[in-house]
Amino acid sequence: MSSRRMTTIAGTLVTASFSAVMILPFTAAADEGPASGKGGKAVDAAPAGVKLTTTLPSQIDVDNSSQETALTASVKNEGTKDSGKIRLLVVGFDGMTVKNVQGCSPIAEKDLPEGSNSGFACAIDNLAAGKSESYDVDATFDLSKTGKICLPVQTSDGKKTFWQQGPVPFGTTNPTPNAPATPLLLGTDNKPVAPGGDALPKTGSERVMLPLGAAGAMLLTAGGAGLWWSQRRPRQTD
């Protein structure tokens, strides 16, 4: 029977592991801009000479009709020694749902971290010093809500998290519901189009309003109240 431990560090989600069974060997065009490690921090100590980090694009574009988007998630070993077996997780929260990560395996719903809606695990046999791996991510983003993404880098068994970026938001403070796509910036809480005076004009004389749902009304500040990740560990036997 597994034990369950809840931990917070500096108000953000910082550690994760999943059951051993989870250790598995038109989208909108992404105008990604420069890669960014915003919202990332080291967690558990990595082996000597290994320094693992991740990056996300500074901007993504969400198709306003389909809500589809695409981005690149990357992990890099900035150290002087090889990493050995590790895994990268790509996890969606709130209005951001990860639909596919090329070359990676979906995380079963029962093994998702608390509060997340989707996730994929990318097994990496070894990441040499100075090298990186990049993964194409397909996702949807409900523009009536906030949305976040998280990239933990763990041991292959998930018992240690060497680095974690996020959960970091994508969003805009200037919604554009009548344009073909809405650009979202990394590290920005999404501001959905509100009813009334906050509605944006169409091209021409007509005006439209998108209703703000209850979920969208409660905007979470990045790095604020903090998110929890439940940690499962196998039973220890004598």
Structural domains of the chain sorted by starting position, each given as residue range(s) with its CATH number in brackets = 23-220 (2.60.40.10)
Query: What is the C-alpha separation between 141 and 96, in angstroms, rounded?
Result: 4
Rg of the chain's alpha carbons, rounded to an integer? 19
Query: pTM score > 0.75 for this model?
Result: no
State both tokens at 195.
């009813």
Note whether 3 and 223 are within 8 A (CB).
no
* Dist. CA 13–CA 106, nearest whole Å: 20
Cβ(59)–Cβ(128) below 8 Å = no
Taking only the tens place, the pLDDT of each residue in 148-194 is: 999 999 999 999 999 999 999 999 999 988 899 999 999 999 998 75
Contact in structure between 144 and 127 (CB atoms under 8 Å): no
Tens-digit pLDDT profile for residues 93-135: 999 999 999 999 999 999 999 999 999 999 999 999 999 999 9
Give 67-99 pLDDT, tens digit per residue: 999 999 999 999 999 999 999 999 999 999 999
